[in-house]
Structure 1
């Protein structure tokens, strides 16, 4: 008996993905654990492993197909010893629906019923969000990028059949479909492109860019931000970093300023637990360790790999982990648990010469620290005006969960740790 291979949910929040690449072809024999495809989620490209053995009898979704819903059949696996050559006939079976369905399913649409007649039911069934559609209609819709939820079926009980899908234009139904309830309140209506005759290029948004747009819009619309900024003298930290790098040179570890900032933020959150929290409706979640999400820019957008329990790790361990996480983030090889979660975030734009900025909170976290560039500035040191290396750091706090006074306390602890950095080694 043939086995259907379906688009897997590679993370708890995944609803659709891009079938980036097939690593097998029709007729190939596979065993459990074999990597058969690469699937692109909104954050990474992940490997899809087979859990059964057999022979690839059919590939239903071509490589490069986008917006493939979780649960969609992407290939068929024939069991050991099954006649693979017969498999295509099985694939063609849904086409017989023209005989199985009433004639109205494949003929011209029926006349509009009189006003007193009962209207045809909607495609969505009353027992949930499942859309009533024939297998062939689903496959045609998937291949053409048509959203079945926007189509009224002409089959029995409103079931969507082949004729309904073939009459819809690719992309048009999807555009007309209503947004999910969870996003409709926060997603603005699409804006029609107006180029005014200016030369330009148009690039389709990646899954990652769509997710960034949705989540940051949600954050700015639903999370009341409060911003607190402090100026921090860096000279002592830079001196300590140089000394540590000298001592770590033989082990191949080279600390960055960002590594020390991660450690400082984690220790600050442990010292001020009122800021290591998350707003959760009628609850406030308070965390006992500090997992720091670190913003990393990659070609497709932005991702935040997590340094777990950064407060208890040495700065050399943090440095090693960050180099590995950042490298795999740029290759799209992070696992979901490596970028989903975190108790707070850190975004450093100092390397770009940005003096100061206000970062958008990464929901559902309660705060994010924005780090500006260190620069020579006039600064009062020991009651005298001197030239010092100073940076500005801005904390963005979710005011539903974190009071201004608590945020101010965290910023003060963070400043003290940077200006007296031996505390980072304790």
Structure 2
């Protein structure tokens, strides 16, 4: 019978966490259908069926740590009899079912009492919240307790007073989004805590969130980060969009947005200031003769930065289509390591969520990041008159070890000038 294996991880990833099973033993499976999801410290990987058939057994539980190419289940022919945990445990080709005794079902403790077998992730939640495993309502395959079950029980809503019925497993994953979402407790530090006066809730960080925390802290400890600010009158860019939006959509099938204008302006500024497009490697400076711009996207799992390659060769339509493609892949959880690897410069848009001003953190090993913010009508002085204009604050955080304040300020001023007169960059002036 075909084995269900963990996908091959990249060289920098050693292990992952089994987030969820989309099928349970006995269910029919079609070729290409998603069987399980595995979270590494960078992306969420899907394990798909290589043929039609029936899920015979699973050898790993939700929340378990898994290794690259490890066997986590068995797929049989369509209509095949489902293997029992005892039968699979007795098969030397696959070894015992993790989280169960060789007889299957429950593990017997030294005092003779039976308690549901627990995965490492579940044991941690149980221990931290002083839970009784026997009282937790189990929803996983073969009636095992999943991490979601334990978290629910910790919140006071997941205990079971009677026999456990065989129900479908609860998925710990929801699709990433580019807009504010209500995250699940398992994935967000801002999730609501248990009810009651002065209640608290302890939830393990996901691998991706742990990795984000490590990278952000590393760059703060390593780089000499400084931020310079400016403001942009967005009226010319808004007028350009308004005038050409309809013919642009008719020709290219995609709307003209502000992000493509910022990517184009940033690319022109990177050409003029190569230090901003460079990176530090030990005692060396690496100057890049290409322009790969990362676009920071907020998802439920954390910050992801897909990369636009060779932006100097992309038209505004190409940029808009690429960004739209990344947004769709992020929403469907389809972003790959290749989508997010590399990059020489990044742009983040806090204005999507209403941010007026911020100091973005560099995406190492890059040396700078541009922060966009919301557009607000404010009074400004123009030709000796006070007028109301749609203004945006922009910020450039940069590594002062490589980039001097003068060129950082000039870089941001160039972006401002290009956006306030977009015809210049479209005409290559």
2:414 matched to which residue of 1? 413
> Structure 1 pair 316/52, CA: closer, same or farther in 2 (3 Å)?
closer
**Matching of residues 186-265 of structure 1 within 5 Å:** 198-251=198-251, 252-265=253-266
1:177 matched to which residue of 2? none
> Structure 1 pair 347/407, CA: closer, same or farther in 2 (3 Å)?
same
TM-score normalised by structure 2 residue count: 0.66
Q: CA deviation at 1:210?
A: 1.7
2:173 matched to which residue of 1? none
Please give the secondary structure, in 1, of the residue aligned with 2:7.
Answer: coil
1:11 matched to which residue of 2? 10
Q: CA deviation at 1:6?
A: 4.9
Compare CA radii of gyration and give the structure with the larger one.
1
User: Cα deviations across residues 294-346 of structure 1 (Å, max 9, x unaligned)?
Assistant: 11112222211222222321112211211221122122111111122211111
Distance in 2, Cα, partners of 1:308 & 1:383: 43
1:423 matched to which residue of 2? 424
- Check the 8 A contact 1:44/1:335 in 2, yes or no: yes
- Check the 8 A contact 1:277/1:285 in 2, yes or no: yes
Say if 2:393 is the partner of 1:369: no
Distance in 1, Cα, partners of 2:359 & 2:277: 19
> Structure 1 pair 200/55, CA: closer, same or farther in 2 (3 Å)?
closer
Please give the secondary structure, in 2, of the residue aligned with 1:364.
Answer: coil
Q: CA deviation at 1:403?
A: 2.2
Count residues with an aligned counterpart. 334
Q: CA deviation at 1:414?
A: 0.9
Distance in 2, Cα, partners of 1:91 & 1:57: 16
Q: CA deviation at 1:384?
A: 4.2
Distance in 2, Cα, partners of 1:232 & 1:411: 10
1:347 matched to which residue of 2? 348
Distance in 2, Cα, partners of 1:345 & 1:267: 14
> Structure 1 pair 257/412, CA: closer, same or farther in 2 (3 Å)?
same
Unaligned runs of 5+ in 1: 96-139, 147-194
Distance in 2, Cα, partners of 1:88 & 1:201: 36
> Structure 1 pair 77/350, CA: closer, same or farther in 2 (3 Å)?
closer
Query: More deviation in 319-328 or 64-73?
Result: 64-73
> Structure 1 pair 404/36, CA: closer, same or farther in 2 (3 Å)?
same
Distance in 2, Cα, partners of 1:52 & 1:75: 14
User: Cα deviations across residues 159-211 of structure 1 (Å, max 9, x unaligned)?
Assistant: xxxxxxxxxxxxxxxxxxxxxxxxxxxxxxxxxxxx99613444332222222
Distance in 2, Cα, partners of 1:212 & 1:356: 22
Higher helix share: 1
Q: CA deviation at 1:91?
A: 3.6
Query: More deviation in 84-93 or 367-376?
Result: 84-93
> Structure 1 pair 373/74, CA: closer, same or farther in 2 (3 Å)?
same
1:45 matched to which residue of 2? 44
The two structures, once aligned, show a CA RMSD in angstroms of 3.9
> Structure 1 pair 257/30, CA: closer, same or farther in 2 (3 Å)?
closer
- Check the 8 A contact 1:299/1:330 in 2, yes or no: no
Distance in 2, Cα, partners of 1:49 & 1:199: 40
Distance in 1, Cα, partners of 2:64 & 2:242: 48
Please give the secondary structure, in 2, of the residue aligned with 1:203.
Answer: coil
Q: CA deviation at 1:94?
A: 6.9
